Chain A
Amino acid sequence: MTGFPVSAATTPNLWQRSARADAIAVLVVAATALVLFLLFPQSLALLTRIVAIMLLVLSLDLVTGYSGVATLGHATVFGAGAYAAGILAARFGVADPLLMLAIGALAGALAGGVSSLVILRGHGLGQLVLSIAIVQLAHEMANKFSSWTGGSDGLSGIMPSPLFGLFRFDLWGRTGYWLAVALLIIVFLVLRAVVRSPFGMLCRGIKQDPVRVRAMGAPVYFTLVKMYAIAGAVAGLGGALSAISTKVVGLDSLSFSLSAEALVMLVLGGTGKIFGAMLGTIVFVWFEDIVSAINPFHWLTIVGVLLVVVVLFAPKGLVGAIESVVSRMRGRKT
């Protein structure tokens, strides 16, 4: 590659450009986290919860937004991570937070891989129903094996030991918050690399036309299983994070409604975009916290109307709408 020294020097290549974009994005995320930390020291628990849910929505984005698998049961992998980390801490006394996160990711990847073997057998409606059936099945199992999971009372008694042996998970949730932010940034960078890799491109190809991808000779089914396992690991991390920061795991982390809400957040932010998943989660969970403190049913009405409006008028979500506004303004300038 010595033929084009001039162009390489003046216009950065794709890798350099994306590395620069990633660096800017990481700075934006870190700066936002710092600003939120300083502005809302009272609601760090809520912010940590937002990050945990964000990991779930990012994971859903990998599966639905990038690979085109319609699922209404994605809480399965989140709950798997949460329960794995929680059971490890509460029943086996392994309380190291990093180990809990690792186990959560592993359990999520395992749950994602196994459940995808079933979910990917269906198409369209069948796929939706299979994903719902799986999350309901997992929910019933968690309810049934209550000696392990605590059943409908929830799994309590999770006492994570200090992070690196230095930072305790105190009442204010500062440690939990910074752990969450660090986790989010790492996941963000990894996912940007994943979706940009040839593997990520293959997944997008499958979303657009699985028949053609198969004709090209690429394995559709196992590519998606792999993607599902990666997505499972991400959501499992989110589940483990929520187990560490809240110190309980409830059956709601393995429910149909959490799955449906995650999908709503994703669509609100914009599918097939990493920032879309993150923005959608922040907007949704934050507003939910405010409005449902007043009346949970008003919240439901608002979400419903919002969803209809987004589907009709901003099918690419908030990030898509912002992008189109920005590009229109740029077009006007030039």
Chain B
Amino acid sequence: MQTILSIGADALAYGMVLFVISIGLSLTMGLMKVVNLAHGAFAMIGGYIASYLTQQMGLHFGFAMLAAVLGTVLIAIPLERLLYRRIYGAPELTQVLMTIGITFAIIGIANFLMGPTLKTIALPPELQGPVDIGFRTIAAHKLFAAAVGIVVAGALWFLIERTPFVVRLRASVDDAAMAGALGVRTRMVYAVSFAVAIGLAALGGVVGAQLLPIEPYYALRYMVTFLVVVSVGGAGSIPGALIACLLLGAVETTGRYLMPEFGEFFFYLAVIAIVCIFPNGLLGRAK
């Protein structure tokens, strides 16, 4: 019983961290139809900025988190204008290749600027200690990550269901010329959506840095996981991504607890089973 509860708590924390990072990717792929393999690279940039600000400049975690999100978005906007804009609507393979290229370049530059070592983010004292949640103690930063995940999910749900923004985005993706003729500023809509997705990636990179440590190969190592989460959940679906994160978090954590020698074997087995049964993801819209 104790083990089950422990697994549950860890799975929840891990799943929510995955969610914060992956939901941005899910939006890019589901709503903007861009397979952005550089998403993890942007999460990594966010993590690096926060690490630099807290460790080298001694700034507070909250401020660093904000600065990381803004800084990453600032880096991403020129990339969107120069590179991503050319691959909207291109075949998936083209998008995959271009964004893998961007990822490689970011890894190389990150290593050049920050070195190959693991970088940590200094947590404020409130988030450092363990918190007693009844049956066991859990690290405060994990609870914080879970809370951030819930807030992000709520805010995105509001944005998508209660504001006309996503209607404009869908219109721009489906038929840019027609949407433009109807007065939608399609380029602006694309740029803002991209910025939101990248901002979420950076936020996730900072919040999840304790579980997914920041180093140059972060961008490639966890990219696969994020991509998997999105395709299992169904691109563009917030509840889908949430379910996928919790489910895969549970599979991965259970595997680690009970059969650590198998590594990520069960994680990928689950992925294959789910994607085979639900080719569009658990809650994805059929094409």
Q: Hey, which bits of chain A sit against chain B, CB under 8 A? A: 64, 70, 72, 118, 121-126, 128-130, 132-134, 136-137, 140-141, 143-144, 256-257, 260, 263-264, 267, 297-308, 310-312, 315
Complex interface: chain A residues within 8 A of B275 (CB): 121-122, 126, 129-130, 133
B182 contacts partner chain A, Cβ-Cβ < 8 Å: no
Q: Which residues of A contact B271 (CB under 8 A)?
A: 129-130, 133
In the complex, what's the smallest C-beta–C-beta distance from A265 to chain B, in angstroms? 11
Of all chain A residues, the one with the shortest Cβ separation from B98 is A311
Q: Mark B224-266, 1 if CB is under 8 A from A, else 0.
A: 1001101110010000000000000000000000000111110
How far is the CB of A250 from the nearest CB of chain B, in Å? 17
Nearest Cβ distance between residue A285 and chain B, in whole angstroms? 16
* B268 in contact with A136 (CB, 8 Å): yes
CB–CB B228/A303 < 8 A: no
Contact (Cβ within 8 A) A307 B263: no
Q: Is the CB of B220 within 8 A of A304?
A: no
B230 near A125 with CB under 8 A, answer: yes
Could you say which residues of chain B place their CB within 8 Å of the CB of A298? 108, 112
Q: Distance in Å from the Cβ of A316 to the closest Cβ of chain B? A: 12
Given A70-B93, A297-B108; 15 other pairs, CB 8 A cutoff:
A72-B96, A121-B279, A125-B29, A125-B35, A125-B227, A129-B227, A133-B228, A134-B272, A299-B108, A300-B104, A301-B109, A303-B104, A304-B100, A304-B106, A308-B98
Interface of B is mostly: helix
Q: List chain B positions with a Cβ less than 8 A from chain A.
A: 29, 35, 83, 86-87, 92-94, 96-98, 100-109, 111-112, 116, 216, 220, 224, 227-228, 230-232, 235, 261-265, 268-269, 271-272, 275-276, 279-281, 287
Residue of A nearest to B83 (CB): A308
- With A129-B271, A300-B108, A301-B105 known to touch, is A121 a contact of B276 (CB < 8 Å)? yes
Task: Considering the complex, give the chain B residue whose CB is closest to the CB of A124.
Answer: B92
Contact A118/B268 with A301-B108, A304-B103, A308-B83 known, Cβ cut-off 8 Å: no
Tell me the interface secondary structure of chain A in the complex: helix
Residues of B within 8 A of A300 (CB): 104-105, 107-108, 111
Flag if B263 contacts A140 (CB, 8 Å).
Answer: yes
B26 to chain A, nearest CB (A): 11
29 contacts between A and B (CB under 8 A): A64-B93, A118-B272, A121-B276, A121-B279, A123-B279, A123-B287, A124-B92, A125-B231, A125-B235, A126-B231, A126-B275, A126-B280, A128-B231, A133-B275, A134-B268, A140-B264, A263-B96, A263-B97, A264-B100, A297-B107, A297-B111, A298-B108, A301-B107, A301-B112, A302-B108, A307-B101, A307-B104, A310-B97, A311-B94
* Nearest 5 Cβ contacts at the A-B interface: A301-B108, A307-B101, A304-B105, A304-B104, A300-B108
Q: How far in angstroms is the closest Cβ of chain B from A76? A: 12
Instruction: Please name the residue on chain B nearest to A298 by beta carbon.
Output: B108
Residues of A within 8 A of B279 (CB): 121-123, 126
Structural contact, A144 and B98, CB atoms closer than 8 A: no
**Contact B109 A305, beta carbon cutoff 8 Å:** no
Known A-B contacts A140-B268, A311-B98; the reply to A301 vs B104 at CB < 8 A is: yes
State whether A308 touches B227 (Cβ < 8 A): no
Bound form: Cα–Cα A129–B276 in Å: 11
Is A307 touching B92 in the complex (CB atoms < 8 A)?
Answer: no
| Chain A residues whose C-beta falls within 8 Å of the C-beta of B281 in the assembled complex | 126
A133→B104 CA distance, assembly (Å): 21
A145 to chain B, nearest CB (A): 11
With A144-B261, A301-B112, A308-B98: A256-B216 Cβ-Cβ less than 8 Å: no
CB-defined contacts of A301 to chain B, threshold 8 Å: 104-105, 107-109, 112
- Cα distance, A305 to B109, chains bound together (Å): 11
Which of chain A's residues have a CB closer than 8 A to the CB of B87?
Answer: 311
- Decide: A70 and B92 in contact? CB cutoff 8 A: yes
- Select one of A123, A257, A308, A312 contacting B105, CB under 8 A: A308
Contacting residue for B86 out of A126, A257, A263, A312, CB 8 A: A312
- Centre residue among A128, A132, A304 by max chain B CB count within 10 A: A304
**In the docked arrangement, what's the CA distance between A64 and B97, Å?**
13
